[in-house]
A and B are shown apart, each in its own frame.
Chain A
């Protein structure tokens, strides 16, 4: 089974802190994604990566950056956390094989910024 793990299930940070959210997948997938999920807004794509050291902006990249130094690991960075970044953060990975674009999601990290 594909396993996508995220470093924390719950996280509380203060405004202005630098926050690192880590995601690791164990299936050698090329593609990795970061989403945030908010009530009434559904899932929104922040950044994605289709290869090591490659990244692409999603729909809401402002206030975030990412790092992918190894194939299995994709990090989301909040340079200076703000209260409007309080949300559920979901990481996903997928393999690109023809049109087989099934994404496998981690359990999520619920981040609260106070």
Chain B
């Protein structure tokens, strides 16, 4: 299973872009990168996923490097409600087995 490395915490000013990095240097060719977040006292929430192309949806953008060894989740205009723990996950084999690491605690401040 590919492992991921994320910074333990980050700060971002409200209204600015939040760029959350993730290293996954042992990712294999058929493994996807998934991002989830968990707001305090709630269950995790799916954000976005990708294989090798950059992806964008209504919540965020995902930039994956050409060698696929790292990625960045971008929240274009962070709000206070984006304060959460963000998890970068590489999907392992079997039936949708997500492996959650420690994640990055993002604090958005006014």
Contact = CB atoms under 8 A, between A and B. Distances in A.
A45 B44 CA distance: 14
Contacts of A26: none
Nearest to A4: B43
**Interface magnitude class on chain A:** 20 to 34
Nearest to B46: A102
B43 A108 contact: yes
Interface of B: 32, 34, 36, 41-46, 49, 51, 91, 94-98, 100-103
A92 B98 CA distance: 11
A42 B88 CA distance: 12
Given A33-B96, A101-B96, A103-B98, 18 more contacts: A42-B100, A42-B101, A42-B103, A43-B100, A48-B95, A48-B97, A58-B97, A90-B43, A92-B43, A94-B96, A96-B95, A101-B91, A102-B34, A103-B36, A103-B46, A104-B46, A107-B43, A108-B41
- Which of A43, A45, A105 has the largest number of chain B CB atoms within 10 A? A43
Contact of A105 (B34, B44, B49): B44
Contacts of B49: 101-102
Which secondary structure characterizes the binding site on chain A?
strand
- Which of B34, B36, B41, B96 has the largest number of chain A CB atoms within 10 A? B96
Contact of B44 (A43, A50, A56, A101): A43
A40 B22 CA distance: 19
A56 B94 CA distance: 10
B96 A105 contact: no
Contacts of A56: 94-95
- Which of B44, B45, B95 has the largest number of chain A CB atoms within 10 A? B95
Interface string A50-92: 1000001010000000000000000000000000000000101
Nearest to B42: A107
Interface in A96-114: 96, 99, 101-108
Nearest to B103: A42
